[in-house]
Structure 1
Amino acid sequence: MLQNSIHIWITDIEKIDDPYMLDVYRSILSPDEIQRCERLVKEQGRASFLIAHAMVRSVLSNYVEIAPKDLQFKSNANGKPKVFCEQGRPLPLEYNLSHSGRYAVMVVTNEIDCGIDVEKIDSGRDYIEIAENTFSVAEMIDLQSVGEEEQAKRFYTYWTLKEAYIKAKSETIASSLNKISFDLHHQNQISVKLDNSGDEYKNWQFHTQLLDQEYILALALQHNSPFDIKIELFETIPMQVFG
């Protein structure tokens, strides 16, 4: 299913309010996942966690024909998970998950390093102050070059790209964000480089997309293909992936 393509799966969390389905989702999670869920204070946060992590298991199970409950996960030193079968054998997939507000999104690849991030575009947030501490000089110039109505969207475009890139590289958010500089206008493509360096990071493909007027996602892929890999988007309800 992943031949020459990347799959992005999107779940609208607000469409799932059936307590029975939440119980189903809980039943396929591991004891560790359930403990992490129960540590969340707010009920909505717990529901979002259940839906997002059930989504991961439900989607991945359709690629490898293993029951969602039987999938196992192990994380590297920076917390990026890898999926394994019940016998402890790593499966030939890479994936990444993000959820914010009403959306959970995940990317699935054929062993291509990937990162994804989704954020709500909050125009009331003091994003200029945040940008001053986390954006490169070039990014700040671009952010301040657009009108006030466009600034929030531009800020979250950069922010989600940085998050997706760091997740794809399996780095921590403590990395110097202001040294990672994106160019949204490089030959009609998005490129990344170290600020104040002429060397662009090679072998990267980026994608941004509005899910609606309030949410934006960004995808980062590292691969050796000279051409962009096709990106396909699917909407899903966990445990009803192809229904």
Structure 2
Amino acid sequence: MSLPIAYTNDQTVDDLWLERSSASSSAMVDLATASSDSETNVESTLENTETAVWDLETFILWIDVRKCWIEDTVEAEERFAESLTLVPPEEQNSLRRFHFRRDAAQHLASLLLQHLVISQLADVPWVESRVSRTFMGRPFHEQARFDYNVSHHSGRVAIGVRVADSRHIGIDVVDPEDATRNWKHGWIDDFHDIFTESEYAQILRDGKKEIEITKRRLFTFWALKEAYTKAVGIGLVTDLRTIEFSRVEDVDITERPYTRSTICKVNNELIDWRFEVVALEDDLILATATTNEGLFSGGTTQIKKIELDYITKVAVQYHLPITLAPHVV
């Protein structure tokens, strides 16, 4: 069960940010290594670790925050409070509005992934890696020559990146097992304003009685639609039946963890986009959408799981100079 957000020692997260920004370098290193015995040099890590994806055209980083922040333990609570100090006060304030730890933890992980990508690809110090938003609420960095998109579900948080001017990317993470609706009694009828008749035929090709297979297939179509609408910046405010997918293959972590066979028509016209669907761990589905224009590699989008310690080390040892002033609200 998710817990309400708690802060330690009656100290606000703004105070912690100010304290951390002016603390000694040894104290900052203590924060980075609080839950790890290793003291990896961050510059070496950026070059040698599997997370060194910064030269790729497209990539996805993701993090699992269930154990590090969401568990009902004192250690998880303390780690969550410490991690809040890695984002500026205005973002900390937005996190205060969440009542449950799970929601706040996923949003914080999303912010940390955004700051990580911006600091690396825009080559700016961590405290200058500002996150802006469009009028539709889509996050971006004002001086970036890259695009990114974030998504989260069930304690897993991902960021997809497309390194190119005026090229967009959208991603969506879904967990079919986390559904709350009653799937046994006419559940498919709830989606007539989302899927076309052709999509319904593909989703139901094994019949309504195969609930688990059909449910997973339905969420795959849903993730593809959301990834595309997020990439073009319209969200779910459009008529989703004008966006029609076909050749959508099932994905399963053991048998078929990855597929890129999907094609899409918008207003009955085929669009030249790359759509990828990945089985992320046993239960999650991750869909990616980006235009083929400007893509030179024929390979698949690389997906890397990273740990909270890695983000923290980058922030406090490499991209958070102690002499810089903190963000001002």
Q: TM-score, normalised by structure 1?
A: 0.86
The residue that corresponds to 2:266 in the other structure is 194
Tell me if 1:150 matches 2:213.
Answer: yes
Rounded to whole Å, the distance in 1 between the matches of 2:288 and 2:81 is 31
Task: Give unpaired runs (5+ residues) of structure 2.
Answer: 1-52, 70-75, 250-259, 315-329
The residue that corresponds to 2:63 in the other structure is 11
The counterpart of 2:224, out of the listed 138, 161, 168, is 161
Alpha-carbon displacement from aligned partner over 1:36-74 (angstroms, at most 9, x marks no partner) = 211112122112222221122124323333232321122
The counterpart of 2:282, out of the listed 204, 209, 213, is 213
Aligned in 2, Cα 1:102/1:152: closer, same or farther, shift over 3 Å?
same
Task: Give unpaired runs (5+ residues) of structure 1.
Answer: 85-89
Structure 1 residue 2, shift from structure 2 partner: 4.5
Rounded to whole Å, the distance in 2 between the matches of 1:4 and 1:50 is 25
Contact 1:118 1:218 in 2 (8 A): yes
Rounded to whole Å, the distance in 2 between the matches of 1:40 and 1:97 is 18
Aligned in 2, Cα 1:59/1:53: closer, same or farther, shift over 3 Å?
same
Rounded to whole Å, the distance in 1 between the matches of 2:276 and 2:174 is 14
Contact 2:132 2:140 in 1 (8 A): yes
The residue that corresponds to 2:175 in the other structure is 120
Alpha-carbon displacement from aligned partner over 1:97-130 (angstroms, at most 9, x marks no partner) = 1011120011112133000110111366345133
> Partner of 1:62: helix, strand, or coil?
helix
Tell which structure's C-alpha radius of gyration is larger.
2
Rounded to whole Å, the distance in 1 between the matches of 2:292 and 2:88 is 32
Count residues in correspondence. 235
* Structure 2 letter corresponding to 1:141: A
Identity in percent: 20
* Structure 2 letter corresponding to 1:12: D
The residue that corresponds to 2:158 in the other structure is 105
The counterpart of 1:60, out of the listed 118, 121, 126, is 118
Structure with more of its chain in strand, by fraction? 1
Q: TM-score, normalised by structure 2?
A: 0.65
> What pairs with 1:36-75 in structure 2 (closer than 5 Å)?
36-75=94-133
Aligned in 2, Cα 1:37/1:185: closer, same or farther, shift over 3 Å?
closer
Aligned in 2, Cα 1:96/1:185: closer, same or farther, shift over 3 Å?
closer
Structure 1 residue 226, shift from structure 2 partner: 7.2
The counterpart of 2:241, out of the listed 178, 193, 208, is 178
* Structure 1 letter corresponding to 2:158: V
> Partner of 2:144: helix, strand, or coil?
coil
Most deviating of 133-142 and 27-36: 27-36
> What pairs with 1:133-148 in structure 2 (closer than 5 Å)?
133-146=193-206, 147-148=210-211
